[in-house]
Amino acid sequence: MDGRGALVFTQYYLGCLSQASYLVGDRTTGRAVVVDPRRDVGGYLADARAHGLRIERVLETHVHADFLSGHLELAAATGARIAYGSAARVEFDIDRLADGQRLSLGEVELEIRHTPGHTPESICVVVRAAAGDEVPFGVLTGDTLFIGDVGRPDLLGADGWSADALARALFRSTREKLLTLPDATGVYPAHGAGSACGKNLSTETSSTIGEQRRANYALAPMSEGAFVAAVCEGQSTAPAYFAYASARNRQRRPTLDETRPVPALSAAEALAARARGAVLLDTRDPGDFAAGHVRGSVNVGLGGRFAETAGQVLAAGDDVVLVADPGTETEARDRLALIGFDRVLGHLTGGAAGAPAEHLTPAGRLTAAQVAAAPPDVQLVDVRGPGEVRAAGTVPGAELVPLPELVARASRFDPARPTIVFCAGGYRSSVAASALRARGFADVSDLIGGFAAWDDGARPVKRVAPS
């Protein structure tokens, strides 16, 4: 919790989604707003109570695609009004914020700046600790400006705008609405490193306009055309769930109840649900999954970027039965809810150990030496992103299919041939291998330790030229 005089300012950073949200309040009046909230809103409510604040508005910097926002949850809990930039197109009642509009919380003042580019309705929120301050405390930049990058203009939900048109709008927004702020103005974005909303995001979660003016490649002096080429080149594949989350964020939908228990299912009930089409989602670490798992289950470990990764290999409409270490099923349910995957039927009582032995099977995992000795007819699949492959190289003979594309492109591989999957360190490859097995691939293994284990100087590496 940071503050200057009347200002109360808190950043909430969710590492598994690389997502930042903010509580901004005024001590003198007790009035506050929350910006870009996630669905599990308990932290905002607790902090507001602790500081005697009343949350009266929920400000959204844009219609998010990478997570399901908590505006409806916060509005239901507090009675707060939901507000977007005036260009937003949503299916529920909102306050529409004009470019240049100022919102007073008391001494603290917020200024709305329209910054189309990442999306047509994107806004940034300038925070002044006292109205009239020449140097603002900071600017909440949403997905317009990141630390080290700008928001990608090619995501879905752009209301008919082309990526080129949005990139040109983003060029103008950054130059006319952000770089006109004093260098000492703090920069507080909605995402950090790991987010698919940009390609060069820093691990830092705040900066200043001056630092970004000097260090951010996208803010360097250049023509509009050069900017468009620079920000559009080399973007990662967006997870398929982005389109779903963007659509759901425009809709009135059921709110998340974090207190609702996850139903416990017997083995017979869980297997019957699978027979009806439900996905068995095993949330244990890859090593535990490989030692023994329910046949046909998909492995996405809670220890990694769980919700985002699940959204890359599951469909939003899938019914899900969790196979989790006992006591972690509520966490798994709530983290899936962060991307809007709410169709969790329950969890297998006892986790994988609760399944009959005849339904359990190990998963194939190979060392780098074993992969090097694999027969020539093996299908070798690299599920890392293009940027990772350009930076580090790959295993000779491997086909690059980034994890977000794997399910859609699985038909290009022969399910009867042996297949070896690898990523950087072993987390995504376990996900990928399990997803292929669940789709009928008979012999799938993954590389223990990923490409890092292969690239130890003892084996050849294929270098990939920049695109």
Question: Is residue 319 located within the same domain as residue 437?
Answer: no
Residues 88 and 237 reside in one and the same domain: yes
Check whether residue 203 and residue 56 sit in a common domain: yes
Of 1-10, 102-111, 262-271, minimum mean pLDDT range = 1-10
Q: What is the pTM of this model?
A: 0.92
Instruction: For CA atoms 110, 113, 116, 118, give the dihedral sign.
Output: negative
Say if residue 18 is in the same domain as residue 164. yes
What is the per-residue pLDDT for 464? 85
Q: What is the DSSP letter of 398?
A: P
Nearest to 119 by CA among 77, 70, 91, 85: 85
- Domain ends where: 361, 379, 406? 361
Q: What is the domain-level CATH number for residue 137? A: 3.60.15.10
pLDDT in tens, 70-128: 999 999 999 999 999 999 999 999 999 999 999 999 999 999 999 999 999 999 999 99
Per the structure, the complete domain to which residue 390 belongs is given by: 364-454
What is the total count of domains within the chain? 3
Q: Are residues 184 and 117 in the same domain?
A: yes
Say if 466 falls within a structural domain.
Answer: no
Q: How far apart are CA 387 and CA 151, in angstroms?
A: 17
Statement to judge: residues 75 and 171 lie in one domain: yes
> 42-46, 115-119, 154-158, 426-430: lowest mean pLDDT where?
154-158
If asked whether residues 329 and 399 sit together in one domain, one would say no
Q: What is the pLDDT of residue 197?
A: 65
242 with 268, same domain: the answer is no
Is 368 among the domain residues? yes
Residue 177 falls within a domain, yes or no?
A: yes
Report whether pLDDT(159) > 80: no
Residue 207 pLDDT > 80: yes
Among 331, 361, 391, the domain-final residue is 361
The answer to whether the beta carbons of residues 332 and 420 sit under 8 Å apart is no
pLDDT tens digits, 317-334: 999 999 999 999 999 999
Model pLDDT, residue 156: 53
Last residue of a domain, one of 249, 279, 299: 249
Mean pLDDT of the chain: 94
Same domain, 374 and 344: no
User: Does residue 254 belong to any structural domain of this protein?
Assistant: no
Looking at the fold, whether 24 and 126 belong to one and the same domain comes out as yes
pLDDT tens per residue across span 363-413: 999 999 999 999 999 999 999 998 899 999 999 999 999 999 999 999 999
Classify residue 255: in a domain, yes or no.
no
Same domain for 417 and 305: no
Per-residue pLDDT band at 447 (split at 50, 70, 90): very high
Residues 30 and 104 in one domain: yes
Cα–Cα distance between 272 and 249 in angstroms, integer? 32
Burial 124-133 (b: 16+ CB within 10 A, else e): bbbbbbeeeb
Give the other-Cβ count within 10 Å of 425's Cβ. Answer: 17
> Quick count: other Cβ atoms within 10 Å of Cβ 214?
11
Note the pLDDT of residue 193: 75
Domain contains 467: no
- Buried/exposed 260-295: b ≥16 CB within 10 Å, e otherwise: eebeebeeebbbebbeeebbbbbbbbbebbbeebbe
Does residue 186 fall inside a structural domain? yes
Per the domain annotation, does 280 fall within a domain?
yes
- CATH code where residue 384 lies: 3.40.250.10
